[in-house]
Amino acid sequence: MKLIFATNNQHKVAELQSLLAHQLKIITLKQAGIDIDIPEPHQTIKENAAEKALTIYRLTKTSCFGEDTGLEVRALNNEPGVKSARYAGEEKSFQKNIDKLLTNLLHFENRQAQFRTVICLVLDDKTHFFEGICKGKIIEEQRGAKGFGYDSVFVPEGSEKTFAEMDITEKNIFSHRAKAVMGLVAFLNNIKQNTQY
C-alpha cells in the first residue's frame, strides 16, 4: 500500500521510513510533486494533524496521512504543546526553541515532560486518528548531535540518553511517533485483510 505523508520535515520522513520499510510505501510531498507549506492554524495537535492530511487529500484525492507532534512540559502548563515548532518565533528555529524552553524552566525543579504525536489518516474520504505518547524529562543542558527539534534536551523514561544521543533504531524503541505509527500499521493491516488494498 502507498500513502502520501503530508509533511515537509525530512527528519520525520526518515524516522517513518525506518519504521515502515517493509510494510508501507511512503510517498513524500516532493515525490508527489507538491510544494506547499501546509498550515498549522489550530489550537490542538489533533486538529493540526487533520489539517495537514486533509489539505493534501483535497489536492491529490489520494490516501494520505499527516502528523503533528508537541512537547508538553508539566511545569509550564503543557507548553510549548501545539506551538512546539514555533515556540520562539515563526522561523521555526530548533536552537531558539530550546533556548527559550531552558530559560523558562530555570527556576523549576519539576522537569517532567512528554512528547505527544497524533497521526491523521485519510482513507476513502474518512479520517482515522492514532496517538503516541513518550514520557520523560527535560535536562538542563543539551546532549547529543542526532535527531531534531527538542531531542537534545529530552530523556525518555527508561533511558539515560537524550533522543539526540540515540540512532533512529534506538529512538524508535521509546518514540511517541513510533507508537502512533504502530497504531496506524495495525489499523491498515486489519483492513487489508478485508479490502483490495
Angle at CA of residue 116, ends 172 and 157, nearest 5°: 55
**Cβ contacts of 171 within 8 Å, gap of 6 or more:** 15, 147, 151, 163, 178
Cβ burial 150-164 (10 Å sphere, 16+ → b, else e): bbbbbbbeeeeebbb
Q: Does residue 35 have an active-site annotation?
A: no
Lowest average pLDDT, out of 13-22, 99-108, 144-153, goes to: 13-22
**Cβ contacts of 26 within 8 Å, gap of 6 or more:** 2, 3, 4, 5, 13, 16, 17, 20
Share of the chain above pLDDT 70, in %: 97
How many residues belong to the chain? 197
Q: Three-state DSSP class for 190?
A: helix
Indicate the pLDDT class of residue 38, thresholds 50, 70 and 90: confident
Q: Which of 3-7, 8-12, 138-142, 190-194 has the highest mean pLDDT?
A: 138-142
Q: Which three cell numbers stand for residue 34?
A: 507538491
Share of the chain above pLDDT 90, in %: 74
Confidence (pLDDT) at 51: 96
- Active site residue: 35, 37, 68, 124, which one? 68
Q: For 138-151, write each residue's pLDDT tens digit.
A: 999 999 999 899 99
Q: Which three cell numbers stand for residue 105?
A: 524552566
Q: Which three cell numbers stand for residue 98?
A: 530550546
Confidence (pLDDT) at 21: 65
Indicate the pLDDT class of residue 115, thresholds 50, 70 and 90: very high
**Cβ contacts of 81 within 8 Å, gap of 6 or more:** 45, 70, 71, 72
Indicate the pLDDT class of residue 195, thresholds 50, 70 and 90: low
pTM of the model: 0.92
Indicate the pLDDT class of residue 120, thresholds 50, 70 and 90: very high
**Cβ contacts of 90 within 8 Å, gap of 6 or more:** none
Residue 173's Cα: distance from chain center in Å?
Answer: 15
